[in-house]
A and B are shown apart, each in its own frame.
Chain A
């Protein structure tokens, strides 16, 4: 159906998409996880209420999340260039992906951590655990399976953002879909990239669901 050049291009696209998605996810979690923890801890009903800080973080997160990704993609170009030295290709795309998704990850983490029973946190406090100990030994381990499940949602969202980045020459399957499928009207190729994206989403989601279940000790096995 496709010549070998096209097939090579698709394979390279898959590689780029996976690279962008995984690298961005890791970086987004490095930023988003602490932010999410801070949102929970500093909440007025949290273990260490700091209303001002909570408001500042909350506002920044809301602000970044309300910008449409495509706008963000273009508006952070100077930042992208400053960090990576270029504005096209997968590595350059990682910058807007991280900026765009870290606030989203922060909210995902926040909602996962909020699921931890307040009674368990109270018990930890009654045993003299410090705020840091509660975060590291109670909040995160107890929310582990929700965090993993949230992680799957986060990764698949980043994947779809990365496809959108194809609009601005971000590389990966998104670029192929837009340049060949849309601009050149090669419908078959467009479909192939879409199906590949769907498969990647399903795989990530399935890995997340399984890991989440595997680590959840609340379910009697």
Chain B
């Protein structure tokens, strides 16, 4: 475990409206390590946007603590909190650029807030524009930029104050797939070059796949699952994780038949002809009922449901083969 930069303990957020109390987050414990790209995924309304806003105290938690780089935000005076926010950059789905300022002046904004001199700020802004590859658009207004360009300016702006953490709230959700890829590549580059810890909020599993090291899955105001991206992708444990990993293709399929088993493929075992070897070695005929595999990071992952004969000894041989080869499996009773 590396050094943790964001510590969230027992966080709870409740909104009180006239009629009722709405719980947005409950019992959240999270530790994000310095230098990692951490993903937070969930369906809309799951509470992930509230969670990311608790990290820079744009939303004040109802209870619990948020500690960023050793500072417990809840204990800070207003002025100190404003200062702490300057070391936590944030980008948004709708970019949120100042429409009456050109790209360069947008990047100058957080520097002006800090009280930096105009000349110095502009120099720093120019460097940042170069970092995000938009030097030639310095004097363009947001209305003259494409979505991807706007997000690049927003990223440059978020980095202006040399933050330790970059929060991305659905930063690619308003962009097309190609632009999304280039923005994610830029975020990854920033993470590696500048060592900035990145927290990504998204509802798209592809974003998590693409750049995150670890992921937390939020469902119904709670963390349903948390772990390395590869592990969550290959062995999703919670219902919501399975739903998100298999995205659109996931439908609960019911099998009438008995003796159905699910085999989980993680990258390693998918390089070999698992089913053929299984059949050859155990001499048991298997019937493939359902299969869903996908390519992740150059490795095939997914699951397959096979049916085995009623013969207990034959089944035993299959299980032994799977165990010996370290292939995860489980019996399927009702739903896949």
A residues bordering B, Cβ < 8 Å?
A: 117, 119-120, 122-130, 133, 137-138, 141-142, 144-145, 215-220
A-facing residues in B64-101 (Cβ within 8 Å): 81-86, 88-90, 92, 94, 96-101
CB distance from A43 to the nearest CB of B (A): 17
Contact A124 B82 (CB under 8 A): no
| Cβ-Cβ contact count across A and B, 8 Å cutoff | 84
Chain B residues within an 8 Å CB radius of A219? 143
* CB closest residue in chain A, given B78: A130
The contact sample of 7 A-B pairs, CB cut-off 8 A, is A122-B92, A123-B97, A125-B58, A126-B88, A127-B158, A129-B110, A141-B101
CB distance from A181 to the nearest CB of B (A): 45
Contact A220 B85 (CB under 8 A): no
B161 adjacent to chain A (CB < 8 Å)? yes
Contact B101 A217 (CB under 8 A): yes
Interface centre among B81, B94, B102, B161 (most CB of A within 10 A): B94
CA distance A20 to B112 in the complex (A): 39
CB distance from A75 to the nearest CB of B (A): 39
CA distance A137 to B113 in the complex (A): 9
Contact of A137 among B86, B112, B157, B167 (CB under 8 A): B112
B141 adjacent to chain A (CB < 8 Å)? yes
Contact A127 B113 (CB under 8 A): yes
Contact A142 B100 (CB under 8 A): yes
Main secondary structure of the interface of A (DSSP, over half): helix
Contact of B83 among A117, A122, A128, A215 (CB under 8 A): A128
CB distance from A201 to the nearest CB of B (A): 28
Contact B82 A130 (CB under 8 A): yes
Contact B85 A217 (CB under 8 A): no
CB distance from B297 to the nearest CB of A (A): 32
Contact A126 B144 (CB under 8 A): no
Given the contacts A124-B109, A137-B113, A220 and B143 also touching, CB distance less than 8 Å = yes
Given the contacts A119-B92, A133-B113, A137-B109, A126 and B100 also touching, CB distance less than 8 Å = no
Contact A217 B113 (CB under 8 A): no
